[in-house]
Amino acid sequence: MIDTNGENDVDTKTVIVTGASSGLGLAIAEAYLKLGYNVVGNARTQERLDEAAASIGNPKNFVGVAGDIGKPETTEALFSKAIEAFGKVDILINNAGIFLAKPVADFTGDDLESIISTNLKGWFYPAQAAAKHMSANGVGHILTITACIALQPNKNLPCLLTQMTKGGLDHAVKGLALELASTGVQVNAVAPGIIDTPILPRGEENWAFFRTLAPNNKTGVPQDIVDAVLYLTGSEYVTGSIVTVDGGSTTGVW
């Protein structure tokens, strides 16, 4: 296992972002880079990381580590590289995730294995390493991107495996926040609604439907999530919170 007790006398903070090559992960990584943070990003392939780095100008304080986040060796490589390059890890953004929307009868065994690997194992291994490393340092933030549909299901958007895994993470966030409360490590989550990212299908018909999933008939943009992430990881007080950014989708039935 990696040694997650590295020391660093540099004031610049270091962030690990999983799923950093596109969508919300890339937006979050870019936001931290603009603030002067070091960022260690993960994606499945080096090619995707290289493309992401090029899209944000190949900053010297961005390091990519390719690998399947559902495997423990990827987490080991992420933390080892972060500590080697920058001395310590201050913030973990557990962003990598799979969203599958279809009726329960249509899910396959491969769907189940894939979503468990990315959404659950891909959360647990980095969170475990961060908890160990940050507890030793007496400070840190572990933040998870979950999904508002796991907090408030909608009959018009069946996605049981997403609800099962992301809903479990909401409870895990609260449990870990309590476990680490006395160590100085804060644990929170952001639960997005429909956010305009490349993973969603294009076309006005699709987006007209997406707008019906929130009572304000709106969808969000990545900056909406970035703002919530930066607030939570900038706070020295908030922990155990699930912040919804969803146009009111979790308020109930309308």
Q: Kindly report the CATH number assigned to the domain that includes residue 42.
A: 3.40.50.720
Residue 1 lies in a domain: no
Name the domain count of the chain: 1
Q: Is residue 254 part of a domain?
A: no
173: which 2 tokens? 């966030």
pLDDT of residue 228: 98
Residue 4 within a domain: no
Q: What's the pLDDT at 11?
A: 83
Q: Please answer whether residues 139 and 184 qualify as being in contact, where contact means their C-beta atoms are separated by less than 8 angstroms.
A: yes
Domain assignment present for residue 26? The answer is yes
Per DSSP, helices labelled H in the chain are 23-34, 46-55, 72-86, 109-115, 122-137, 148-151, 160-180, 204-211, 222-234
pLDDT at position 201, please? Answer: 82
Asked if residue 7 belongs to a domain, the reply is: no
Residue 8 within any structural domain of the chain: no
Domain-located, residue 82: yes
Q: What is the dihedral of CA 151, 216, 232, 89, to 10 degrees?
A: 70
User: Quick one: how many helices (H) and strands (E) in the chain?
Assistant: 9, 7
| 10-residue stretch averages of pLDDT, the chain, 254 residues long | 43 96 97 98 97 95 98 98 97 96 97 98 98 98 97 94 97 98 98 92 90 94 98 98 97 79
The pLDDT value given to residue 174: 98
Range of the domain at 111: 14-242
Would residue 231 count as lying in a domain? yes
Element (H, E) at 38: strand 38-43
- Total-model pTM: 0.94
